[in-house]
């Protein structure tokens, strides 16, 4: 046992170096102010106050949440029927379809987004619509796979039992298949909504230069403006929102299972 | 009673495999009908066709005077209790039971009333809010029954519902199910492979085999007057012997003529004769209609189950030559070697390629060094021919340690028993006292050493040698020759008795004309 534990040391070092340390640094940056490039460790909450007092920033936050939410809703609306369709195919075809779905995930996200930019250039669409198309395209496979897994492991006898008790196909779907696939939808949401809130490449490339999301904001403050303190503060706010929403979805998940 | 369901010539096949071969069956109102048969006999398929989950290839199902072939499952007034219950894991006990009523959009107060009545029918009052996945098997079973019955179906289908329960719970649920059926007064169609379950609960049993109905009758009829050997074997314990019907009320079996109560057979018709183990009385040998020897005793709790052999099987006796082996020592190489003389069947030399390895194992040839490590025998030379005679074979190691033994090529006589249609053969053999002493399973080893085999004369299929007789003590065997007799199973009767007997006791078996049941031979399609 002990020797096995020792094998995890490099991993622990890795975590400490590249996850814990940066987190602490972000926390440190966010709660201090800079002066001429030299960090003076004077505690302040100014960075947070600045974010929440400026309507521009709040609007960016709101837009990010809105886009992530709409992306997620579209992923569910498109993904659920797709997952249902795949789950009803013969087993071998299912595996093939899942393979087809995961295939685009092997291509670099940046590349795919550039491709979309090329395609969408020919259409006269609002930049927000273009962002949605790009985002839904990118995140849809995660949603489909999660929901498909939930539907595929559903006991077929439950459906037969439902028919037996007088429910037709549609009612069986509403009363049995759908409620029992909720855990799949929830984990699909976790996999789509959270990355969508913080994504910045897709909005930047497809939304045109003036289309700012929270991810872009962070990027700008870190790389362009060089204001690491404020950038860290925004990152921290994002992180808190993500943790809060993860907690909420977990809770929702549990309550649907326990509803019994 | 009114006819409720009628299956007319139902045929169904899966992937070219015919599962139902034209089944005709009537089921009446308020009956407890059991479809009984081994797995794969088509009983569950028939049930699923009635439930509407499968469509038959041919034939018609009439329900309450109406053809229901085109009625989808959800519109049939039939409900099912599934093998693994199939309860909805996202709903609690109450909502599981209410499922069908909610589909029918009944009012909440009516639903509450009906569900509560069901809960008390299946003794689950107070379990409304429980999570179904946390219930025991028996409780889940009750929920499944309540969920089906609450819809007030005309017929309840039960697909091996007790299969997953342990013995005690199963017995309890059997009584429970019978009570529920009598209380609600609807038709239950119950599918099982458990004959005891069928006997205890049913009004009518339908015995199925390979997609066909073998017999339909009350439990008593099925048990006492099975239509054929298949049904007799499937229901209860049975002795089935070949016999010939001499005349009405006269049957011949076990080389004796007996009176019986059966009639209506052709003269000299070959028949199967059934005698239930509990109808055979154990008496003194001179008082018995049949005499035999107790071969096996099993304690069953209330009674003992004896196997009594009234006629020995086909046998063959061979000689075992016990000789002490003298190891040959090659002091120069520091090796020792030994091997036995052996017998070989000339037919085996003719028909099989005998390899050096075969000879090494028959002769039990082995070599070892001073530290008792095995050394491989790399050289085998012999002058064996296929004609009977005595030849020699030499086994040797790399370092030149050698042993030479005699090989007796013989043409053994097979015993061919035309009456039982069995052939048996075995060879004389040489063996050392050590090998006998070291044997963990002496009967099995004797069979191996003597190459004892028995087979069916008609189709050459192997027949088990059940009896190995010898009169030496394996723990203390001396040099010399011993007779070993190998025999196949003779005519054996299973007997249930409360008398305590030992293996080897001579007993008589007594029975009367009414204990004999004569059946037509099954028409076996080859």
What is the secondary structure of B84-153 as a DSSP string?
A: T----TTSBHHHHHHHHHHHTT--HHHHHHHHHHHHHHTT-TT-TTSBGGGS-HHHHHHHHHHHHHTT--
- Residue-level pLDDT, tens digit, chain A, 260 residues: 566 778 888 888 988 888 889 888 888 888 887 665 555 667 778 888 888 888 888 888 888 888 899 999 999 999 999 999 999 899 889 999 999 988 888 888 888 888 888 888 888 888 888 888 988 999 999 999 999 999 998 998 999 999 999 999 999 999 999 999 998 998 898 889 888 888 878 888 887 766 778 888 888 888 888 888 888 888 888 888 888 888 887 787 666 554 43
Q: Does A21 touch chain B (CB under 8 A)?
A: no
Residues A219 and A115 in one domain: yes
The pTM of the whole model exceeds 0.80? no
Q: Does A176 touch chain B (CB under 8 A)?
A: yes
> Using CB atoms, which residue from A157, A165, A259 is nearest to B99?
A165
User: Each residue of B166-212: pLDDT tens digit?
Assistant: 888 888 889 988 998 998 889 999 999 999 899 999 999 999 998 99
Residues A115 and A210 in one domain: yes
Domain range holding A86? 55-258
User: Each residue of B219-241: pLDDT tens digit?
Assistant: 999 999 999 889 998 888 889 88
**Contact (CB<8Å) A163/B91:** no
Whether residue B10 contacts residue B61, with contact meaning beta carbons closer than 8 Å, is answered with yes
> Using CB atoms, which residue from B72, B79, B131 is nearest to A165?
B79
Residues A12 and A134 in one domain: no
User: Each residue of B400-435: pLDDT tens digit?
Assistant: 888 999 898 888 778 777 777 788 989 888 888 888
Dump strand ranges (E) for B221-348.
Answer: 239-247, 250-253, 256-259, 269-275, 281-283, 290-299, 304-311, 315-322, 328-330, 335-338, 342-345
Return residues 71-110 of B near A (CB < 8 Å). Answer: 72-75, 78-80, 82-84, 86-92, 99-100, 102-104
Domain count, chain A: 2
Residues A83 and A158 in one domain: yes
Residues A133 and A179 in one domain: yes
**Contact (CB<8Å) B80/A164:** yes
Residues A42 and A79 in one domain: no
Residues A13 and A121 in one domain: no
Residues A118 and A231 in one domain: yes
The CA distance from B505 to B495, in Å, is 14
Which residue segments constitute the domains of chain B, with CATH numbers given?
Answer: 3-231 (3.40.50.300), 237-312+511-520 (no CATH), 315-488 (2.60.40.10)
Question: Six-digit token pair at B508?
Answer: 């008589």
Residues A39 and A128 in one domain: no
Question: Six-digit token pair at B24?
Answer: 């005709």
Task: Pick from B89, B93, B155 the residue to mutate for testing the A interface (most A CBs within 10 Å).
Answer: B89
The CA distance from A255 to B7, in Å, is 47
Task: Pick from A151, A156, A165, A179 the residue to mutate for testing the B interface (most B CBs within 10 Å).
Answer: A165
Closest Cα in chain B, distance from residue A56 (Å): 45
Instruction: List phi, psi (to 5°) of A41.
Output: -80, 65
Residues A72 and A94 in one domain: yes
CA B224, chain centre distance (Å): 21
Residues A113 and A242 in one domain: yes
Task: Pick from A161, A254, A257 the residue to mutate for testing the B interface (most B CBs within 10 Å).
Answer: A161
CA B121, chain centre distance (Å): 39
Mean pLDDT across the stretch B87-103?
Answer: 94
The CA distance from B53 to B72, in Å, is 8
> Using CB atoms, which residue from A157, A256, A258 is nearest to B82?
A157
Return residues 108-137 of B near A (CB < 8 Å). Answer: 129, 131-132
CATH of the domain at A104: 1.10.3720.10
Identify the CA nearest to A84 among candidates A143, A136, A144, A139.
Answer: A144
User: Each residue of B269-326: pLDDT tens digit?
Assistant: 889 999 999 999 999 988 888 888 898 899 988 889 999 988 878 888 998 998 887 7
Residues A123 and A161 in one domain: yes
The CA distance from B180 to B149, in Å, is 10
């Amino acid at each position: 046992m002990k020797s096995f534990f020792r094998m995890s040391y490099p991993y622990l070092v890795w975590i400490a170096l590249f996850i814990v340390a940066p987190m602490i640094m972000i926390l440190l940056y966010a709660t201090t102010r800079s002066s001429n490039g030299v960090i003076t460790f004077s505690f302040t909450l100014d960075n947070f106050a600045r974010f929440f007092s400026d309507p521009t920033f709040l609007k960016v936050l709101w837009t990010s949440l809105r886009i992530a939410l709409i992306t997620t809703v579209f992923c569910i609306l498109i993904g659920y029927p797709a997952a249902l369709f795949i789950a009803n195919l013969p087993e071998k075809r299912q595996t093939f379809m899942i393979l087809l779905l995961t295939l685009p995930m092997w291509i670099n996200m940046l590349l795919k987004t550039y491709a979309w930019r090329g395609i969408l250039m020919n259409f006269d669409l609002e930049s927000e619509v273009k962002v949605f198309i790009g985002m839904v395209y990118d995140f849809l496979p995660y949603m489909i796979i999660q929901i498909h897994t939930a539907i595929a492991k559903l006991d077929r006898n439950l459906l037969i039992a439902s028919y037996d008790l007088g429910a037709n196909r549609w009612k069986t779907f509403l009363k049995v298949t759908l409620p029992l696939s909720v855990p799949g939808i929830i984990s699909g949401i976790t996999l789509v909504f959270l990355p969508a809130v913080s994504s910045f490449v897709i909005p930047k490339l497809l939304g045109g230069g003036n289309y700012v999301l929270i991810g872009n904001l962070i990027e700008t403050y870190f790389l362009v403006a060089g204001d690491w303190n404020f950038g860290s503060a925004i990152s921290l706010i994002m992180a808190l929102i993500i943790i809060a929403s993860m907690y909420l979805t977990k809770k929702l998940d549990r309550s649907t299972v326990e509803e019994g | 009673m009114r006819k409720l369901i009628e299956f007319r010539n139902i045929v169904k096949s899966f992937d070219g495999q015919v599962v139902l071969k034209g089944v005709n069956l009537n089921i009446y109102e308020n009956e407890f009908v059991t479809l009984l048969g081994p797995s794969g006999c088509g009983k569950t398929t028939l049930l699923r066709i009635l439930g509407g989950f499968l469509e038959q290839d041919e034939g018609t199902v009439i329900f309450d005077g109406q053809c229901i072939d085109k009625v989808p499952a959800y519109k049939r007034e039939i409900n099912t209790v599934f093998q693994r219950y199939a309860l909805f894991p996202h709903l609690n006990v109450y909502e599981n039971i209410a499922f069908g009523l909610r589909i029918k959009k009944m009012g909440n107060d009516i639903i509450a009333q009906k569900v509560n009545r069901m809960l008390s029918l299946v003794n689950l009052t107070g379990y409304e809010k429980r999570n179904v996945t946390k219930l025991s098997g028996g409780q889940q079973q009750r929920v499944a029954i309540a969920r089906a019955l609450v819809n007030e179906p005309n017929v309840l289908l039960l697909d091996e519902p007790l299969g997953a329960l342990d013995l005690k719970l199963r017995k309890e649920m059997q009584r429970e199910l019978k009570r529920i059926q009598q209380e609600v007064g609807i038709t239950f169609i119950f599918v099982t492979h458990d004959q005891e379950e069928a006997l205890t609960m049913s009004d009518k049993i339908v015995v199925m085999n390979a997609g066909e109905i073998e017999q339909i009758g009350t439990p008593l009829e099925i048990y006492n007057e099975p239509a054929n050997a298949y049904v007799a074997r499937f229901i209860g314990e049975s002795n089935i012997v070949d016999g010939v019907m001499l005349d009405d009320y006269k049957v011949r079996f076990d080389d004796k003529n007996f009176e019986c109560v059966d009639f209506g057979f052709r003269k000299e018709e070959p028949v199967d004769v059934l005698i239930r183990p509990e109808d055979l009385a154990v008496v003194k040998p001179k008082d018995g209609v049949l005499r035999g020897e107790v071969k096996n005793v099993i304690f069953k709790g209330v009674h003992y189950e004896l196997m009594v052999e009234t006629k020995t099987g086909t046998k063959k006796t061979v000689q075992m030559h016990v000789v002490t082996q003298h190891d040959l020592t090659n002091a120069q190489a520091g090796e020792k070697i030994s091997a036995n003389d052996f017998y070989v069947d000339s037919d085996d030399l003719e028909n099989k390629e005998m390899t050096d390895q075969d000879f090494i194992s028959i002769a039990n040839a082995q070599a070892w060094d001073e530290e008792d490590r095995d050394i491989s025998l790399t050289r085998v030379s012999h002058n064996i021919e296929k004609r009977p005679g005595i030849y020699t074979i030499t086994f040797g190691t790399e370092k030149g340690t050698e042993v030479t033994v005699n090989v007796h090529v013989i043409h053994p006589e097979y015993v061919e028993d035309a009456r039982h249609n069995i052939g048996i053969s075995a060879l004389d053999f040489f063996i050392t006292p050590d090998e006998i002493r070291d044997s963990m399973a002496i009967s099995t080893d004797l069979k191996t050493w003597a190459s004892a085999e028995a087979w069916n004369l008609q189709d050459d299929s192997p027949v088990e040698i059940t009896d190995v007789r010898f009169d030496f003590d394996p723990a203390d065997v001396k040099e010399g020759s011993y007779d070993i007799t190998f025999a196949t199973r003779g005519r054996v009767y299973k007997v249930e008795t409360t008398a305590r007997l030992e293996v080897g006791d001579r007993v008589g078996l007594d029975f009367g004309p009414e204990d004999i049941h004569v059946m037509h031979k099954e028409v076996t399609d080859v």
